[in-house]
Amino acid sequence: MRVLVTGGAGYIGSVIVEELIRGGHQPVVYDSFVKGHASALDASVPCVRGDIRETDRLRAALTQHQIEGIIHMAALTEVEESIRQPEQYFENNVAGSVSVFRAMLEAGVKQLVFSSTGSLYADTGRTPFDEDDPTAPTNPYSETKLLVERMMRWLAEIHGLTCTALRYFNAAGASERNGEAHEPESHLIPNVLEAAAAGRTLHLFGTDYPTLDGTTVRDYIHVIDLAQAHLLSLTRTDPGLRVYNLGNGNGYSVRQVIATAREVTGLPLQIAEHPRRPGDATATVASSRRIRAELGWAPRYPELRSILATAWAWRQAHPHGYEAS
């Protein structure tokens, strides 16, 4: 299948491109390169530089490359930034997605896989979350993802599109070629590994949560397993919107991540404990029963140690991220 990947030069997008090639597909990347990295892509992959809000440029790319399906990854993703600049997130993530929908309709593309988020669920205190649980975004970033899902339902119904929304929980790990290198970096695992490698103190926020060790619990999913779910979603042929959670179904606490990082790196890690941060949920764990049952998805890297080991291997090979690649 000929597949356009918006945001295909980013962390998750670049691994999806790798897996598409490995699966016999023909990916084309559409990326603004504001956050993405050209060196994350094989030179053989066609690449169009553009903003998703440039509908004409998008439509031209879809037509020129005879695209059959779209994996829509391009989005702003920093929660704290979305609270400071909500208008920027609504313009890029929501209006940008409308531009993607318009371009695909005009180009006659009928299949879309959308990068959504598990952070849009209401914090009811019950886990694991399943797809029918109530949603209640607590920040503009999550709100933009839910709004796009709601638009997709109507577009799929009215235009006969096959749309899939994948609600990610915590993507982590690395392929041999591509790993996590955000600026700024807000995710726990790369920050833990960076602190270990640099000999810096890691700041831990909240040690009095009602969990086994007092720290928050999260569901980590290997980026390759995440990528495989996108490929499986492309096999859907029935019109309409289908929503799937993507997680391992296992929760790991911050202290467990730190302990595993010490094992994987063999390095000491100094911790400074601080009070809770406002807005941090106690535990977010996904039920992925639906995608397992309907598409046959199963994670190949479910263990926290294997996730951290691949992330550490990539960081050792790329101590400065993509800067020197």
Using pLDDT thresholds of 50, 70 and 90, give the confidence band for residue 324.
low
A 10 A CB-CB count for 219 gives 25
Give the separation between CA 149 and CA 114, rounded to whole angstroms.
8
Q: Which residues are marked as active site?
A: 141
Q: Considering the domain 2-172+222-249+286-300 in this protein, what is its CATH number?
A: 3.40.50.720
* pLDDT tens digits, 32-85: 999 889 999 999 999 999 999 999 999 999 999 999 999 999 999 988 899 999
* pLDDT tens digits, 230-283: 999 999 999 999 999 999 888 999 999 999 999 999 999 999 999 998 777 888
Residue that wins the pLDDT comparison between 150 and 183: 150
Give the separation between CA 242 and CA 227, rounded to whole angstroms.
17
* pLDDT for the residue numbered 72: 98
Give the separation between CA 234 and CA 228, rounded to whole angstroms.
10
How many helices (H) and strands (E) are present in the chain, helices listed first? Answer: 11, 14
| % of the chain exceeding 70 in pLDDT | 98
* pLDDT for the residue numbered 323: 67
The DSSP H or E segment spanning 225 is helix 223-233
* pLDDT for the residue numbered 217: 93
Sketch the domain layout of the chain as residue ranges.
2-172+222-249+286-300
Say how far residue 269 (Cα) sits from the centre of its chain: 27
* pLDDT for the residue numbered 235: 97
| % of the chain exceeding 90 in pLDDT | 86
* pLDDT for the residue numbered 325: 45
Using pLDDT thresholds of 50, 70 and 90, give the confidence band for residue 20.
very high
Give the separation between CA 57 and CA 49, rounded to whole angstroms.
9
Sort residue 63 into left (φ over 0), alpha (ψ -120 to 50) or beta: alpha
Give the separation between CA 295 and CA 293, rounded to whole angstroms.
6
| Placement of tokens 């199963």 in the chain | 298
Nearest to 321 by CA among 196, 168, 193, 169: 193
Q: Does a cis peptide bond (omega within 30 degrees of 0) precede residue 128?
A: yes
Nearest to 82 by CA among 140, 39, 130: 140
* pLDDT tens digits, 296-307: 999 999 999 999
C-alpha triplet 316, 27, 235: angle, nearest 5°? 105
* pLDDT for the residue numbered 271: 95
User: Region 14-38: what's the mean pLDDT?
Assistant: 96
Say if CB 271 and CB 204 are below 8 A apart: yes
Residue 196 has pLDDT above 70, yes or no: yes
